[in-house]
């Protein structure tokens, strides 16, 4: 994920909380989904952009052919370091890199993959153009994005609870950034502007379930494991724990005090470089 300020600053304790709580909660099901699609394409050389803490990296190293070559990149060094610390089954080349300016020659990879990172690219068409540039002819750019906030139950509840706590200036990171890039017509226009001339293959509204042993887990993950934390601390530095408790209470009100099970939903897009 790009590293800048505010919306893209995954730093401090955020990477650890993200890895511990959000990865199993919402990212693992879609990592398995992307790997299943990649297996059908059998790429040999794979570039991952916006790798974050490496949930997809680990899934690829465990689920693809042993001779697959994986380069995992991210501009956000704290997230990348967290991924390197966890490690992978097979050797992976970890490298800091900006998806907007990839440091690789033209045609270097059979596949470029990106799990829930496209929403953070400052200029989507430029990042897509870079993905296309480093693909060989016939190569695939495979990525996913979250569907609307209303289709992702825990995130929607957390966003509402935190906004209600600070109504004069509601923190709105979740609706503003990770759950804002769901318009498939816009995504297709951005891909075309990035040079992908063919119609992408789209799986629309792919559902999964988000499960945790208690309401506190999704509350902690979303409030303290994303830049929503930055939103809150800028407005009310002493109220982070209060915001986490409010989010947990709102989830418990909807799903109960024990184990919780919520809907998550995403779009999966495969764009192919023309031969």
Record the tokens describing residue 169, joined without a space: 């200036």
Q: What distance in Å separates the CA atoms of residue 89 and residue 99, rounded to the nearest whole number?
A: 25
Q: Rounded to 5 degrees, what are φ and ψ at 210?
A: -115, 115
Residue 8 confidence (pLDDT): 53
Q: What distance in Å separates the CA atoms of residue 177 and residue 198, rounded to the nearest whole number?
A: 27
Q: What distance in Å separates the CA atoms of residue 169 and residue 96, rounded to the nearest whole number?
A: 35
What one-character-per-residue DSSP string does 239-272 give? Answer: GHHHHHHHHHHHHHHHH-SS-EEEEEEEEEEEEE
Instruction: Give start and end residues of each alpha helix (H) in the chain.
Output: 14-17, 28-41, 55-63, 77-86, 124-134, 153-165, 173-176, 184-193, 216-224, 228-235, 240-255
- pTM for the whole structure: 0.94
Query: Which residues make Cβ contacts (< 8 Å) with residue 92, sequence separation at least 6?
Result: 54, 57, 61, 70, 71, 72
Task: Tell me how far CA of residue 190 lies from CA of 91, 181, 183, 186, 201, in angstroms.
Answer: 33, 11, 11, 6, 14
Residue 115 confidence (pLDDT): 98
Residue 1 confidence (pLDDT): 37
Q: What distance in Å separates the CA atoms of residue 28 and residue 18, rounded to the nearest whole number?
A: 12
Q: What distance in Å separates the CA atoms of residue 122 and residue 184, rounded to the nearest whole number?
A: 18
3-state secondary structure of 207: strand
Q: What is the mean pLDDT of each run of 10 residues along the chain (275 residues)?
A: 46 82 96 97 97 96 95 94 91 96 98 98 98 98 98 98 97 97 98 97 98 98 95 96 98 98 98 93
Q: What distance in Å separates the CA atoms of residue 79 and residue 118, rounded to the nearest whole number?
A: 16
Taking the CA atoms of residue 158, residue 153, residue 210 and residue 54 in that order, the dihedral angle to the nearest 10 degrees is: -60
Domains of the chain, CATH where assigned: 6-148+177-211+265-272 (3.40.50.150)
Q: If you average pLDDT over every residue of the chain, what do you get?
A: 94
Strand partners, 47: 71, 112
């Amino acid at each position: 994920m790009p590293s800048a300020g505010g919306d893209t600053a995954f730093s401090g304790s955020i990477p650890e909380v993200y890895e511990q709580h959000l990865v199993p909660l919402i990212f693992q099901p879609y990592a398995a989904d992307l790997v299943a699609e990649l297996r059908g394409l059998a790429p040999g050389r794979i570039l991952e952009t916006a790798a974050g803490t490496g949930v997809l990296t680990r899934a690829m190293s465990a689920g693809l052919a042993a001779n697959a070559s994986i380069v995992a990149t991210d501009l956000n060094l704290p997230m990348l370091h967290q991924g390197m610390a966890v490690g992978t089954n097979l050797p992976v080349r970890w490298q800091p890199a900006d998806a907007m300016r990839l440091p690789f020659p033209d045609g270097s990879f059979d596949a470029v993959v990106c799990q829930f990172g496209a929403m953070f690219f400052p200029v989507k068409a430029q990042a897509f153009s870079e993905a296309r540039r480093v693909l060989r002819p016939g190569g695939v750019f495979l990525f996913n994005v979250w569907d609307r906030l209303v289709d992702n139950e825990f995130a929607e509840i957390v966003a509402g609870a935190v906004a209600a706590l600070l109504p004069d200036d509601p923190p709105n990171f979740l609706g503003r950034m990770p759950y804002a890039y769901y318009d498939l017509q816009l995504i297709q226009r951005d891909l075309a502007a990035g040079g992908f001339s063919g119609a992408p293959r789209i799986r629309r509204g792919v559902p999964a379930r988000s499960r945790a042993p208690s309401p506190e887990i999704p509350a902690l993950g979303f409030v303290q494991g994303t830049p929503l934390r930055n939103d809150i601390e800028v407005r009310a530095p002493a109220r982070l724990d209060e915001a986490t408790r409010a989010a947990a209470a709102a989830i418990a009100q909807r799903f109960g005090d024990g184990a919780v099970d919520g809907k998550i939903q995403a779009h999966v897009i495969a764009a192919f470089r023309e031969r």
